[in-house]
Structure 1
Amino acid sequence: MTHLAGKTALVTGGGTGIGLAIAKALASEGARVAITGRRIEVLEQAASDHGFIPIQMDVADEESVTAGFNQIGTTDILIANAGIAEGQNILKSDTAFWRQIMTTNLDGAYFTIREGLRRMPIDDWGRVIAISSIAGLRGLKGAHAYAASKHGVVGLIKTLAMDFAKRPVTFNAICPAYVETDIITRNQAKIEERTGMDADAARKVMTDLNPHGTLISPDEIAQAVLWLCGPASQSTNGATIEISGAPT
């Protein structure tokens, strides 16, 4: 029997990328895992492959989040992972862009964590982990809205860690730099279109932004999540775990 047997985990944005890696890691330790996202066909494929529970949910829609949690019931482990990463020059930006980023990344984390806590046995045991970003600690050139939203997620986590400090539930944020996901592929295409670079050069733009010059594997994020859910992490609360390749 593995150490998460009997626990139920919910991972938002769990059908691809970082979320899928986390869901697989939690399931490997015996957790019952629900994955959420907007594209039910993606969720159902992952569920078929790995035995997850697929729940269609749009984290930017409060009613959708509530309905999704009602399907799963008690939640012991909550991974607030869903989000979007887009940049824009503030001089060319508009309120619609700002609201899109904030509604998904910050409002979505708030709705998800609130509904998860309402169904979590907070006087017994619980883990709340938000996937923020290195941009939530340092900012990110050309991505004012994204960086602001991820700073907001970190503030939310740190405050809840204080609010629940006397209870056996912890709140932590993982803050990765550039991770090898579909977001990299999409951003690479945008760089190629904008600059005329070839694919390798466009990819190198993002790779070089990581201090160690390589993209981070989603499995590295998943292993950090497992540690935060493990038996030796009960005193780690309100932390921002930077996974970036940068010396600390």
Structure 2
Amino acid sequence: MTARVALVTGAGRGIGREIARRLSGEGLRVALVARDRDQLARTASGCAGATMVLPADVTEPEAAEHVHAEIERTWGPVEVLVAGAGAGHSARLERTTDADWQRMLDLNLTAPFRFVRRAVPAMRDAGWGRIVVVASSAAHIGEPYIAAYTASKHGVLGLVRSAAAELARTGVTVNAVCPGYVDTPMTEATIANIVASSGRSPEQAREALERKQPIGRLITPAEVADAVWFCVASSAVTGQAINVDGGAVQ
């Protein structure tokens, strides 16, 4: 893997930051994409090797083209793509607006599709490539109050499976990593939403999320990064949804 070119979206913090640092530690050159340049700089400061900071809003229609083109000018084609950018939304069905729905689809489904679509031709030509999408345990099951988020994650898992089937004989693997509740800023936002809507304390809200996982705790970003690295390192695993949720989905 030494000196292969990787691209990680959502690399500014949380899971994406940990994935970027893990790939860098394994010897890859890592292009870091997120909206916040300062957050990307902090990610880069913790990487072991060469990085490229590329601030971008992945929901913009031309973002995938612009990001890939910049990487290609400097390092060559992307060989490892990790689509880690994402966000959640919680509301009752009747309070989920069209804008809420579209925002979840744009970020969690359409953006990964565009980045995968842009990466595939060079990978196919090279006869080698790794694509990993950070999905969610919500890609498998439905829970109350997260209809838009769940629909987007179900959709992106369908994208992964279809792309894996199409590319199976090309040397390109496509997998999803499906975390449960991870100890990240996104989960902190979920806790704040629970507090605001239920009157529970932050400690009670956090404990409720921990109880959703049989191991009784939140997943760490490093544990998700381990699963991503497994998908990158393996040539025989493709079309899979790797659950990192403490046994919640079996």
TM, length-normalised to structure 1: 0.93
Would you say 1:11 and 2:13 are equivalent positions? no
Provide Cα deviations, 1:144-176, integer angstroms capped at 9, x if missing partner: 111110011110010011111111110001111
Structure 1 partner of 2:189: 186
Alpha-carbon separation, structure 2, partners of 1:176 and 1:169: 23
Provide Cα deviations, 1:117-144, integer angstroms capped at 9, x if missing partner: 2443544311000011000011222101
Structure 1 partner of 2:78: 75
1:50-65 maps to which residues of 2 (within 5 A)?
Answer: 50=47, 51-65=50-64
Residue 227 to residue 122, structure 1, CA distance change in 2 (3 Å): farther
1:233-248 maps to which residues of 2 (within 5 A)?
Answer: 233-246=234-247, 248=250
Aligned residues: 243
Q: 1:21–1:222: 8 Å Cα contact kept in structure 2? A: yes
Q: 1:76–1:121: 8 Å Cα contact kept in structure 2? A: no
Structure 1 partner of 2:114: 111
What is the one-letter code of the residue matched to 2:25?
Answer: S
Q: Which moved more, 1:49-58 or 1:142-151?
A: 49-58
What is the one-letter code of the residue matched to 2:142?
Answer: G
Would you say 1:102 and 2:102 are equivalent positions? no
What is the one-letter code of the residue matched to 1:169?
Answer: V
Alpha-carbon separation, structure 1, partners of 2:202 and 2:91: 21
* Structure 1 position 65, deviation (Å): 2.2
Q: Which moved more, 1:118-127 or 1:195-204?
A: 118-127
Provide Cα deviations, 1:167-202, integer angstroms capped at 9, x if missing partner: 111000111110110011112122222222222112
Alpha-carbon separation, structure 2, partners of 1:118 and 1:90: 39
Would you say 1:23 and 2:20 are equivalent positions? yes
Identity %: 33
Alpha-carbon separation, structure 2, partners of 1:140 and 1:128: 27
Alpha-carbon separation, structure 2, partners of 1:189 and 1:93: 18
CA root-mean-square deviation: 1.4
Would you say 1:215 and 2:218 are equivalent positions? yes
* Alignment equivalent of 1:44, drawn from 25, 29, 41: 41
Consecutive unaligned residues of structure 1, counting only runs of 5 or more, are none
SS at match of 1:65: helix
Structure 1 partner of 2:167: 164
SS at match of 1:138: coil
What is the one-letter code of the residue matched to 1:177?
Answer: G
SS at match of 1:193: helix
Structure 1 partner of 2:176: 173
Residue 126 to residue 84, structure 1, CA distance change in 2 (3 Å): same
Provide Cα deviations, 1:196-231, integer angstroms capped at 9, x if missing partner: 22221121121111222110011111111112121x
Alpha-carbon separation, structure 2, partners of 1:173 and 1:72: 23
Alpha-carbon separation, structure 1, partners of 2:213 and 2:145: 16
SS at match of 1:170: strand
